[in-house]
Amino acid sequence: MAGVVLVHGAWHGAWCWDGVVAELAGRGVPVHAVELPLTGLAADVAAARAAIAAAGPDCVVVGHSYGGAVITEAAAGLPVARLVYLAAFLTEPGEDTAGLMAGSKLMTSLVISESGISVDPAAVAEVFYADADAATVADVIDRLRPMPLDGAAPATTEAAWKSIPTTYVVCTNDQALPVASQRIMAARATEVVEWPTDHSPFATRPAAIADLVVAHLG
């Protein structure tokens, strides 16, 4: 069976996919959650591309949020069966990702320091995890990492979605990536699904994500 590669978003780590990994593994699906270095887009793309190549032909690649920008570059030219963008950046080459986030609660919750760009811990629940319980949010806050000052809003240079079938999942209660921006990007996809969730459905709907992915495996 073809495998699945999961690519997390900004500030997060491979741990955020634990529920989805468990769901897929329970169904006998080979799955790998990539740990991005979060040191800049080039390094993140390299890490994801290595995992996609290792997964073999006809894999399904899922990117969440910033992870969409990563898989858009990383999957280019590889024999991927489908890309899945989960409230993610499905961008044209040169498109400004910062502009797509304009007006979101995330943009007013950023904290800039010498270590990079972080999210105000007091805003994490509202911005990312409105559907999750307090224990989940507390665990997440302790795991979030800063993003580099020069790499938080990367521009795509090569768009894999132009040649690979693509599903976009719009999260209609998202406070991080505006729904209007998601729908603009979703219009470029082969298939569009809308879920009434916050920005992080992997925390509360891992089975739904697994169902969506499995439906596209060869």
- DSSP label at 146? P
**pLDDT score at 152:** 46
| Model confidence at 43: pLDDT above 80 | yes
- Give me the helices (H) in 10-168, please: 18-26, 41-55, 66-74, 97-100, 124-128, 134-143
Q: Residue 142: which CATH number? A: 3.40.50.1820
| Model confidence at 155: pLDDT above 70 | no
| Model confidence at 177: pLDDT above 60 | yes
Which domain covers residue 115, as residue numbers? 4-214
Is 104 catalytic? The answer is no
Exactly one of 65, 109, 181, 200 is catalytic; name it. Answer: 65
List the structure tokens of 8: 């997390």
Which residue shows structure tokens 């740990």? Answer: 35
**pLDDT score at 151:** 53
Rounded average pLDDT over 126-155: 88
Rounded average pLDDT over 79-90: 97
Q: 206-214 and 18-26 are packed helices; what angle lies between their axes, rounded to 10 degrees?
A: 50
Residue 74 CA to residue 52 CA, distance in Å, equals 8
More confident residue, 93 or 170: 170
Please count the structural domains in the chain: 1
Question: Where residue 154 falls among pLDDT bands split at 50, 70, 90?
Answer: low
Residue 80 CA to residue 28 CA, distance in Å, equals 19
Lowest mean pLDDT among 9-13, 87-91, 147-151: 147-151
Residue 98 burial (CB count, 10 A):
11
The identity of residue 110, as a single letter, is L
